């Protein structure tokens, strides 16, 4: 299945997941084996049987089945008992980056064996797409029109059965179930009207207008906010969660646009995820060092963005020497002043503070922090 996407995202936070940590090392191997299997589709499902998968992994069938049962017991995967395996949370970490990605889902979906679980996969994918913009929804409807038609038809049939006692009949040449009402009695002196079969109504196709530039920018900003909330809120343990973003304002859309304009990598969601992952490695920004934490707006400020991107807030140990115990203050600016002072002595500290644009009093504050940590 080389035509399908072979690159998938496995979030590092999986090692913090309670269910994942409960299973044995053999079960963990099975999870990674299935998530990176060449036949895994973009919906997180694959066709395979236990003997074949055990052979591919190079383990005994009994050992594979026992490990796989651990995975099923924790609800991390589902199995139809035959040939279909699915990871329900797969799309949460592999969101479609464009409507064309959704259109490409069809190929992998058609290759999956027929099963009630296959219908559940389609319903879950639709629920995921329903949370995205109109272009993604339209792409899903184009890729899976038959699925939508069958669902609507089943709903109509259920409603007809519950709401009428009129007999049901099938029109010639059409397998769709339709409701036929009894003919009305003609009044005296009138010729009975010839019963004509009404043509089936044509499905309405919604008119889609091309999105404006502003709409596209807002849509992209919403995707960036979703990434921020996932990486820096949902995936972080207590004590390291940043304030969750609940509104995408015009100001935030402008910030995202400005950063993407100045940094080519940020024109793609992958670049934003890499930036937020970098922030997740900065204890100071996550409020671990002080009762303050960075916000979404703070991280997108141009000056703060440059400092974070250059790694100035990354967790690190200062180069310990005779001048101190090597503990960082958690304030990168102060640490730079302290490092300069150790290399050049006290003389010149005032000058370096001014050249860096810092208040010289910050150096004294850094020294106090270091003494307090001793």
pLDDT tens for each residue of 73-85:
999 999 998 889 9
What pLDDT sits at residue 170? 37
Q: Does residue 326 form part of some domain?
A: no
How confident is residue 166, by pLDDT bands cut at 50, 70 and 90? very low
Q: Does residue 180 form part of some domain?
A: no
What pLDDT sits at residue 374? 44
Structural domain ending residue among the three candidates 116, 146, 176: 146
Q: Does residue 171 form part of some domain?
A: no
Question: How far from 175 is each of 52, 75, 180, CA to CA, in Å?
Answer: 39, 39, 14
Across all residues in the chain, what is the average pLDDT? Answer: 76
Residues 16, 142, single domain; the answer is yes
pLDDT score of 264 more than 80: yes
What pLDDT sits at residue 42? 86
Structural domain ending residue among the three candidates 93, 127, 146: 146
**Who's near 307: CB < 8 A, 6+ residues apart?**
313, 332
Residues 250, 293, single domain; the answer is yes
Residues 67, 129, single domain; the answer is yes
**Structural domain range at position 68:** 12-146
Residues 289, 351, single domain; the answer is no
Residues 18, 111, single domain; the answer is yes
How confident is residue 245, by pLDDT bands cut at 50, 70 and 90? very high
Residues 303, 338, single domain; the answer is no
Q: What do you get for the CA distance between the two ends of the chain, in Å? A: 60
What pLDDT sits at residue 29? 93
The number of domains in the chain is: 3
Residues 245, 366, single domain; the answer is no
**Who's near 249: CB < 8 A, 6+ residues apart?**
none
Q: Does residue 169 form part of some domain?
A: no
Residues 22, 122, single domain; the answer is yes
What share of the chain has pLDDT > 90, as a percent?
A: 29
Token pair for 120 = 């559940």
Residues 33, 107, single domain; the answer is yes
Q: Does residue 159 form part of some domain?
A: no
What pLDDT sits at residue 361? 61
**CA of residue 15 relative to chain centroid, distance:** 17
Residues 117, 26, single domain; the answer is yes
Structural domain ending residue among the three candidates 309, 324, 340: 309
Q: Does residue 168 form part of some domain?
A: no
Q: Does residue 276 form part of some domain?
A: yes
Q: Does residue 315 form part of some domain?
A: no
Residues 23, 126, single domain; the answer is yes
Highest-pLDDT range among 91-105, 147-161, 353-367: 91-105
pLDDT score of 362 more than 50: yes
Task: Tell which residue, 151, 121, 38, 95, has the closest CA to residue 272.
Answer: 95
How far is 46 from 287, CA to CA, in rounded Å?
41
How confident is residue 44, by pLDDT bands cut at 50, 70 and 90? confident
| DSSP E strand stretches across 48-155 | 78-79, 84-86
Indicate the range of 131-145, 286-300, 338-352 predicted with least confidence. Answer: 338-352
How confident is residue 144, by pLDDT bands cut at 50, 70 and 90? confident
118-142: pLDDT as tens digits? 889 888 888 888 888 888 988 888 8
pTM: 0.41
Token pair for 229 = 């909330």
> Looking at per-residue confidence, does 347 or 87 come out higher?
87
> Looking at per-residue confidence, does 257 or 351 come out higher?
257
Residues 358, 240, single domain; the answer is no
What pLDDT sits at residue 350? 60
């Amino acid at each position: 299945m080389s035509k399908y996407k072979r690159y998938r995202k496995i979030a590092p936070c999986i090692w913090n997941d309670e269910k994942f940590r409960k299973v044995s090392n053999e079960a963990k191997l099975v999870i990674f084996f299935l998530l990176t299997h060449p036949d895994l589709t973009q919906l997180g499902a694959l066709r395979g049987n236990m003997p074949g998968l055990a052979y591919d992994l190079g383990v005994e069938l009994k050992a594979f089945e026992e490990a796989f049962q651990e995975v099923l017991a924790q609800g991390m995967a589902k199995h139809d008992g035959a040939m279909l395996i699915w990871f329900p949370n797969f799309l949460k970490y592999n969101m479609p980056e464009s409507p064309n990605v959704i259109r490409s889902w069809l190929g992998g979906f058609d290759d999956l064996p027929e099963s009630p679980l296959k219908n559940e996969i389609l319903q879950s994918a639709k629920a995921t797409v329903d949370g995205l913009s109109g272009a993604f929804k339209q792409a899903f409807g184009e890729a899976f029109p038959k699925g939508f038609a069958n669902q609507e038809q089943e709903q109509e049939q259920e409603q007809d059965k519950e709401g009428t006692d009129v007999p049901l009949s099938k029109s010639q040449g059409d397998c769709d179930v339709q409701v036929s009402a009894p003919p009305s009695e003609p009044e005296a002196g009138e010729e009975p009207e010839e019963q004509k079969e009404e043509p089936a109504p044509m499905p309405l196709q919604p008119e889609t207008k091309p999105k404006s530039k502003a709409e596209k920018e807002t849509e992209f900003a919403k995707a960036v906010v979703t990434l921020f909330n996932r990486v820096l809120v949902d995936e972080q343990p207590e004590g390291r969660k940043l304030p969750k973003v609940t509104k995408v304002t015009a100001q935030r859309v402008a910030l995202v646009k400005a950063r993407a304009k100045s940094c080519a990598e940020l024109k793609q969601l992958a670049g934003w995820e890499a930036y937020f992952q970098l922030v997740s490695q900065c204890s100071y920004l996550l409020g671990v060092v002080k009762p303050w934490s960075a916000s979404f707006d703070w991280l997108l400020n141009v000056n703060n963005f440059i400092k974070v991107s250059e790694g100035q807030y990354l967790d690190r140990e200062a180069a310990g020497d005779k001048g101190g115990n090597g503990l960082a203050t958690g304030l990168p600016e102060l640490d730079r002043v302290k490092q300069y002072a150790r290399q050049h002595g006290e003389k010149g500290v005032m000058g370096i503070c001014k050249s860096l644009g810092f208040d010289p009093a910050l150096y004294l504050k850094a020294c106090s922090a270091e003494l307090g940590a001793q």
